[in-house]
Structure 1
């Protein structure tokens, strides 16, 4: 895969809790310079990022229920609706890990389905935090995400330990099939990491170190 094609599938992210408005401005300028198609920022900064990036046809995405996933469905739906009003065009929601661990599968499925409904057709990805799950839980989570009508299963936030691995991407791809989205995020730091992840079955990559990845450097970021 050449670097332009790789750039096209990387979601450039800036989700650190201490990010300032000046940081967001510099981040958006980098996004334009390097040609990324989608960025992810925290909900507070969606309007500002949208203002800077929409003239360049760059999408602004937002994490919902970030970064633990334990918010109520009502809260996640409200977050989603407000983010859309503010200009977001992609949704990455956190799965309810506590409900999943409790085997409350109807709760998990409904939580996702209601956010998907609130997204009104926008691409919706569901983060499962693979490092916190057993293999059976990863499989079950992926199946619930497909059943709930989302568009992608996503490996991790990078904020709760672990991240994308080739083995997890292969597993998720085997569960969801060839036509469902798989997004790898957390710990993808180099061009070689990214290529290995894509070859394992990822359609999208989320990375705060996206520039290092596409320029052949190494990022120290975990998310």
Structure 2
């Protein structure tokens, strides 16, 4: 098994969030892209304004690393039109994967049909452009019942409106990694949350994102059945794997 093909190497902080200058933050993004090329990760996940640069660097290198970005990040409360406009620009800039933040607060407030419509229209747009779509449900903001409901909602929209050949191109994703929790509660992928997602999104694939930092945690997620892992620790994970510390 090539663990690198499970890894979406991720850096989504602004300079302000990282506490560095714009130039320093740009250097971090470039280093993340170059590491993804050197390690042959599945994908590098960066902010929308960095997609053009990432595509240029990867194309010049001759690498097959994919470029991913986030849409309506991190709150997911934009309109369908806003999401589609962001997706259109990301695709034109060279993105392969588009990770949309689902309007989980709208869902929790009862606007379920609006959420379904948004999932349908945005997914259709991306699939028409042969892109991979991931729907971030933000499990730290949900209780177990809501995790089940939202995983099933995405699944049912896809199964009801698209042919089976598209199922593996639409993921349900756990987290943005930016949700603020209290009292040290995890804000990303947890084993219990991922299990609920896997059980209720099948046959759609699941991406575990947020808090996966070690080879042991990555192995646990893969053993459960996730197909992609979003992590800012991809380099450390693959280095540990290559040295045999926790490898298969």
Distance in 2 (CA, whole Å) between partners of 1:105 and 1:116 is: 16
SS of aligned partner of 1:183? strand
Distance in 2 (CA, whole Å) between partners of 1:114 and 1:210 is: 32
Q: Note if contact 1:139-1:175 (Cα within 8 Å) is conserved in structure 2.
A: yes
Alignment match, 1:74 = 81
Distance in 2 (CA, whole Å) between partners of 1:132 and 1:100 is: 11
Report the structure number with the largest CA radius of gyration. 2
Q: Note if contact 1:127-1:156 (Cα within 8 Å) is conserved in structure 2.
A: yes
> Pick from 122, 142, 151: which aligns with 2:151?
142
CA positional deviation for 1:194: 0.5
Alignment match, 2:231 = 207
Aligned length: 213
CA positional deviation for 1:168: 1.1
Q: CA RMSD in A?
A: 1.5
CA positional deviation for 1:23: 2.2
SS of aligned partner of 1:136? helix
Q: For structure 2, which runs of at least 5 residues remain unmatched after alignment?
A: 16-21, 159-168, 181-186, 242-248
Q: TM-score, normalised by structure 1?
A: 0.91
SS of aligned partner of 1:30? helix
SS of aligned partner of 1:80? helix
Distance in 2 (CA, whole Å) between partners of 1:84 and 1:148 is: 22
Q: Note if contact 1:109-1:147 (Cα within 8 Å) is conserved in structure 2.
A: no
Distance in 2 (CA, whole Å) between partners of 1:10 and 1:27 is: 13
Distance in 2 (CA, whole Å) between partners of 1:85 and 1:147 is: 29
Q: For structure 1, which runs of at least 5 residues remain unmatched after alignment?
A: 218-223
Alignment match, 1:128 = 137
Distance in 2 (CA, whole Å) between partners of 1:21 and 1:176 is: 36
Q: TM-score, normalised by structure 2?
A: 0.82
